Amino acid sequence: MAVIIATVFACFASALFVTSFTSIGLFTFGELAFFISCLLLSPYASAFVGGIGLSSASLLLGYPHYALASLTIKSIAGFTISKALKTLKSRTVNFASSLILALLFGLMGVLKFSGEIYFGYTNTFFLGERVLEFGGLWAQSLYLPSWGWIAASTIIIIIIIFTELKKMGCSEWAGAPLLCGCFIIVLGYLLYEALAMPVIFNVKVDAIANISVNAGQSILAATAAMVIGKIIHLLRHKLDSRTIIK
């Protein structure tokens, strides 16, 4: 049941977005739901959520030429993240990787989501790139200064260092598995857009330019999921401790 709920949530959460038209930054909450699922579910369940949930989102939002990419790339990424989380037990590697991810979070925020951005949702499905033409979006303009991203990145770094020094919780930070997932997603979409999509669907895009778009979305989602996942593990550990005491 948890897998089905996570899959449906990842699909429909993809309609919620944050975007910047000046820097071509795009973030969907379906991506965040996917990364959180990878930290909580088994490898095969994570692959299912990523592949089925996000390929369904591609169809729902009107991008059928990306459904195959989501099905394969997100399945592989989901399985890899969840598997690495269970097998990679080097606290030093995870600690260093988590700091790198937090630094990249601030960098991508400054480069892709600073200044005037738009938060909103898609209220008319199956339109794809014609969604603006038919008024299928609701969006609200927001202003996010660069220093806000720097401050957020700094706070996350401080939290990572503090919790590691205090050995808070029974689990490591998940930076290494999440960075692996981001790499798979960025590389996978680069190869798909450059080699497969023009041949299979006769659709051509600037695959090189989209590297920064995919990297920005993946890194922001992975970092947010890392923090949320850590909070969930800390709460679980606290509840388990109370249960044992009782």
Q: What is the CATH number of the domain that holds 126?
A: 1.10.1760.20
- The span from the CA of 86 to the CA of 187, in Å, is 23
* pLDDT over 60 at 127, yes or no: yes
Q: What is the pLDDT of residue 243?
A: 56
**How many domains does the chain contain in total?**
1
Domain coverage including residue 108? 2-245
| pLDDT average, residue stretch 139-152 | 94
Instruction: Pick the closest to residue 50 from 11, 87, 17 (CA basis).
Output: 11
- Claim: this prediction has a pTM higher than 0.85: yes
pLDDT band at residue 109 using 50, 70 and 90 as cut-offs:
very high
pLDDT grade, residue 1 (50/70/90)? confident
Angle at 37 between CA 47 and CA 210, to 5 degrees: 70
State what percent of residues in the chain have pLDDT above 70. Answer: 94
Q: What is the predicted pLDDT for the residue at 240?
A: 58
pLDDT at 53 over 70: yes
CB neighbour list of residue 3: distance below 8 Å, 6 or more residues apart: 41, 45, 48, 49
* Token representation of residue 108: 């991508």
Model confidence at 237, pLDDT cuts 50, 70, 90, reads: low
186-195 pLDDT per residue, tens: 999 999 999 9
pLDDT of residue 131: 85
Q: Say yes or no to pLDDT of 171 above 70.
A: no
